Chains A and B, each alone.
Chain A
Amino acid sequence: MNNHWMRRQRLLGYVFVGPSMIGVLLFFLIPAIYSFALMFTNYKFMNPKAGFVGFDNIARLLRDPLFYLSLKNTVIFLLAVPVSIALGFVVAVILNRRLYLKRLLRGLYFMPYITSGVAVAFVWMLLFHPKQGPINGFLRSVGIAHPPGWLSTTTSSMYAIDIIWVWFLLGYNMIIYLAALQEVSPELLEAAKIDGAKGWQTLRKIIWPLVSPTTFLLLVTGLIMTIKTFGIIQAITQGGPGNSTTILSLYVYQNAFRYYDMGYAATISWALFAIILVITLLQWLGQKKWVHY
């Protein structure tokens, strides 16, 4: 084959990547660099007076108790991801057996994922109503005299948000697992169908490792997606009560668009970036131990 033609063909790589590259440059890379620079300024939105302040913002971040609190809340929020993955796996395995109404069931489990997070948040807010809500009404009717306060106490609010988030993510995880299970050989699945100890063993020792790449993908993307979210929290609790549901992404939003403190907001968001980076790297390194391609 003609060498010159091959070389030209290789140059086409830039043409393929080009359009996307322009977008990434404009909407990701340049803003990211700009925001990195903002970290060292005291730029306040609307306020023309801004100057470089060196590492002041970073020093402030390190002694800001709210930063650590929102970090802790973020970690609690992230718990929803592995839980929803585990549940999604279990549901997928069961739905993968011979069942009636399979399609309907899949649809019902998946439904939360396609609904608007904000709309759903308001529904849950009322379901969780501590005194009159249907959830606590149910708990009381089955004999629990003091059901949790859900969103209304500082100790339970973050977990109430977790419940919403698990509910939201479960269906998506289930669907992706169902796809992965299709690649598993039917004989193995047949073996897993046998109930009792043997079935459980097959599930744990054979199927779970077989779908581990999927688990890995769901974990990485789920964590990244979750850590960026703040819409549902902003809609129902605005980070309260107290600051019990202030997660890092919300804290960034508040600093930027409530206090107009853009320099500090940029600083927190880069801390958020550092955390995502560390989590992703850890997972990447850790995957050798449990992910089997």
Chain B
Amino acid sequence: MEIHRRLSRDVPKRLAATIVMLALAIVMVIPFLWMISTSLKTPAEVFEYPIRWFPAHPTWAHHLKVWTGPKSFGTYYLNSLKISIIGMVGATFLSAFAAYGFARIAFKGRNALFLIYLSMMMVPPQVLFVPKFILFEWAGIYNTHLALILPGLFTIFGVFMLRQFFLTIPHEISESAFIDGAGHFRIFFRLVLPLAKPALATLAIIDFSWQWNDYENALVFLIDERLYTVPLGLQNFILENTVDYNGMMAAASAGILPMIAVFAIGQRYIIQGLTNSAVKG
């Protein structure tokens, strides 16, 4: 009875809090709603106020132009997917590998090496643009996707984050494994990696979103329009078509909506991945 009364007293409060948070959440997504609505309008309707959320004469012309023109967003999407997925998988795996080394093996020079890693984490990418440019040109990978993929395989943040996680795994586990005659490789693949799944998922998600949104590197290292990624293609499209705001919003939708769709479908896993991990600093 007691519990029941508490719960029923709880309902109005819960409801009120939900409504307030929902209202704020809608404010958060208003930019997206406005973007979609504008992309379907005619130029004259763009700035009508009060906002007409449902355009009087919706037109798909702007979207058609974005997706079917000579520079279709389809290509940009394939490029971005390729770069982000390879980068994500590679970076997560390589980070885990290195993080294990740093966290669980007391090899000589470990601390010095890790200090170098930490200091490199603070180096702004701007420092590296010019030399990387020269390096890529020399290696012949300038203006290829490799110029984004290869550096994308290495994330110092990832090594740092996973090392923190591996440190929290009790040492007894590996010690008993050692006694059974298992080496580091076996411990890594059989014991540590499965334990680290949530942390790996977190890193993978964060890394993917970074690679997906990376505009700066693509801007500097890609020339060929057919190699462009989504952020770069979007910027390029808008610069070439500064004719109307509707087209601009259609292009922005093209850059955003598929991501939102993927997120909506996978949000349970994505957010779980992020929340389950031990991001404990």
Contacts and interface: CB of A to CB of B under 8 A. Distances in A.
A–B direct contact (CB < 8 Å): yes
Interface of A: 1, 9-17, 19-21, 23-24, 26-32, 34-35, 38, 45, 91, 94-95, 97-101, 103-120, 122-124, 126-127, 129, 132-134, 137-138, 141, 167, 170-171, 175-176, 178-180, 182, 213-214, 216-217, 221, 224, 227-228, 230-231, 235, 249, 252-253, 256-257, 262, 265-266, 268-270, 272-273, 276-277, 280, 291
Contacts of A217: 279-281
Given A20-B98, A110-B271, A116 B28 contact: no
Contacts of B215: 116-118, 231, 235
Contacts of B209: 113-114
B50 A123 contact: no
A13 B154 CA distance: 18
A98 to B, nearest CB: 6
Nearest to B202: A179
B136 to A, nearest CB: 10
Contact of B18 (A32, A101, A119, A256): A101
A50 to B, nearest CB: 12
Nearest to B160: A221
B107 A14 contact: yes
Interface residues of B, number: 98
Given A126-B249, A179-B275, A100 B18 contact: yes
A134 B128 contact: no
A35 B248 CA distance: 37
Given A17-B101, A109-B28, A97 B17 contact: yes
Contacts of A100: 14-15, 18
A123 B105 contact: no
B73 to A, nearest CB: 11
B143 interface: no
B126 A272 contact: yes
Contact of B130 (A11, A213, A230, A262): A262
B142 interface: no
Given A175-B271, A235-B235, 12 more contacts: A12-B101, A12-B185, A101-B18, A115-B259, A116-B231, A118-B235, A132-B46, A134-B34, A179-B274, A231-B231, A272-B126, A280-B122
Interface in B252-273: 252, 255-256, 259-260, 263-264, 267-268, 271
Nearest to A277: B122
Contacts of A179: 274-277, 279
B184 A12 contact: yes
A91 B28 CA distance: 12
Please indicate which of the listed interface residues B50, B274, B277 has the most CB atoms of chain A within 10 Å of its own CB. B274
A30 B22 CA distance: 50
A141 B48 CA distance: 13
A122 B264 contact: no
Contacts of B17: 94, 97, 99
A213 B281 CA distance: 6
B128 A32 contact: yes
B70 interface: no
B231 A31 contact: no
Contacts of B276: 179
A23 B279 contact: no
B49 A141 contact: yes
Nearest to B129: A256
Contact of A127 (B31, B188, B216): B31
A123 B31 contact: yes
Contact of A119 (B105, B130, B252): B252
